[in-house]
Amino acid sequence: MIRINLLPVRAKKKRNTSIYQIIAMSGVIMVSLVTSFTVHSVFAGKVAKREATVAANVEEIKRLQTIIGEVNELDKKKQRLLVQLAAIDKLEKGKRGPVRVLDEMSSSIPKRVWITSFREQGGVLSLTGSAIDNADISEFMRNLQKTPYFTDINLKFTQADLKDGATVYNFEIGCKVNYAA
């Protein structure tokens, strides 16, 4: 005997299976979407934090560059002032130096020695004069050696000359002069 089932049981089972599959697929899609959104949010937060850190570092670099610029400008001013101070010091020594040299030389001249010519060029001094005898000339040279202003003192020449019945010794002395001493 043949049985015919007129009840739609299989169709109902097929429909229920389809509904379960659709619900399962929807659940998988929802879980995937939630997971994707969560991962995206986490990484977007990390990117935002790093971008904020980079922006803060850029601002700090700009601030430090302005400070470095100010420090460099101050260093340039300091160097310029040091050069100016050195020039002023050199001028002060140049101003006082010749006066001290002449004063020291005048106090070194013995009574019987006369300076007739005084010439300085490039730190080399040439003295021409007359004396009663050679001992006075050597005393004058020893006196010059004692001062800090004169170095490398040498007698270029000495020559006896008869003036008004008296013997006078003409001489020339060369030496180096140091105005800064």
Instruction: Assess if residue 169 is contained within a domain.
Output: yes
pLDDT at 10 over 80: no
Where does residue 46 fall: left (phi above 0), alpha (psi -120 to 50 degrees), or beta otherwise? Answer: alpha
Asked, for residue 74, whether it belongs to a domain, the answer is no
Short-list 158, 161, 107, 103, CA closest to 135: 158
* Mean local confidence (pLDDT), 120-143: 91
- pTM equals 0.52
Among candidates 170, 165, 98, 84, which has minimal Cα distance to 127? Answer: 170
CATH code for the domain in which residue 152 is found: 3.30.980.50
pLDDT for residue 102: 86
pLDDT of residue 9: 61
- Residue 92 confidence (pLDDT): 78
Does residue 33 belong to any structural domain of this protein? no
The answer to whether residue 85 sits within a structural domain is: no
- Find, among 141, 140, 131, 122, the residue nearest to 179 by Cα: 122
Structure confidence at residue 5 as a pLDDT band (50, 70, 90) = low
Q: What is the mean pLDDT of the chain?
A: 88
- Confirm whether 145 is domain-assigned: yes
Judged against a pLDDT cut of 90, whether residue 139 lies above it is answered with: yes
Query: Position 18: which residue type?
Result: S
Domain that holds residue 134: 109-177
Q: Tokens for 176, please give them.
A: 């180096």
Structure tokens given for 5: 């089932």
Cβ proximity of 28 and 36 under 8 Å:
no
Residue 130 lies in a domain: yes
Number of domains in the chain: 1
Please check whether residue 51 lies inside any domain of the structure: no
User: Considering the domain boundaries, does residue 99 fall inside one?
Assistant: no
Calpha distance 128→161 (Å, rounded): 14
**Confidence band for 95, pLDDT divided at 50, 70 and 90:** confident
